[in-house]
Structure 1
Amino acid sequence: MASSDEGNRGIHIGEVHGAFAIGDNNTVTHNEHAPGHPGTDPAQEELLAAVRQLRADLARVIETPQVTLLSAELADAQQEIETGGRTAPGRLDRLRVALSDAGAVTGMLASGAAVAQAVAGLLGG
């Protein structure tokens, strides 16, 4: 609810639910799970953080077919976790293969090792 006080041209916001932005040139990032979703477990949160970091690191490397495939798998995994709270086992398998295929690049990135470790932990091995 918004209101304006007499003599004060400011805006008072009493309570807000969801995402919003005030002013020019703002961006809103709102990561909320679907209603009734129990939330993301710590292992999935760890994977999400590692995926985000690796995606940022990959944006600075030379694009190869393997890097392109890995970037797509990372984007899909990130979306799954942000919207559903977890990645599907099939996605984890594809991510593990894509990490392996792009090993020449990911092997020299700490974020690549972090994603590989998180995926292995979630797959139980």
Structure 2
Amino acid sequence: MATDEPNVSIGDVSHSTFAVGSHAQAVSHHGTSGQRDEATEELLKAVRELRADLTRVRGDERTAALDSALAQTEDEITRTGQAAPSRRERLRELLGDSQALLNVLASAGAVAGLLGM
């Protein structure tokens, strides 16, 4: 018995992105994470440690700005596998403005050191 319906065959779809339907959209995020070098891994670890340490100090607008920049850096590294030079420069600026914080928190010193400060 023959039908007029199209025949569709799907093989291996590993690491593929596709959408079906008249309003379907497909967005691929394959290969965007997990491809970090050792220096970026160290920076990510230090960023996370500093963010944790910031929760233990009395916050102000400077610590809030630093935490926001650290969160953005963590997100960027997680999504893309690296922190863009502009993101690193912003962290350098914020850490430079928070010199007193650097004297208190060893994790801030670790991040600053990994940023070449």
Task: State if a TM-score over 0.5 links the two structures.
Answer: yes
**1:56 and 1:111 mapped to 2: Cα distance?**
9
Alignment of 1:46-85 (within 5 A): 46-85=42-81
For residues 63-112 of structure 1, the C-alpha deviation after alignment (integer angstroms, 9 at most, x for no partner) is: 11111111111000000111110000000000000011112112211101
How high is the TM-score relative to the length of structure 1?
Answer: 0.66
Across the two proteins, how many residue pairs are aligned to each other? 88
Which of 83, 86, 90 does residue 90 from structure 1 map onto? 86
**1:58 and 1:81 mapped to 2: Cα distance?**
20
* Greater Cα radius of gyration, structure 1 or 2: 2
Alignment of 1:1-125 (within 5 A): 34-37=29-32, 39-120=35-116
Q: Which runs of 5+ in 1 are unaligned?
A: 1-33
Dislocated runs of 4+, deviation >3 Å: none
- Report the residue type matching 1:112 in the other structure: A
Q: Which runs of 5+ in 2 are unaligned?
A: 1-28
How high is the TM-score relative to the length of structure 2?
Answer: 0.70
RMSD: 1.4
* % same residue: 43
Alpha-carbon offset, residue 36 of structure 1: 3.0
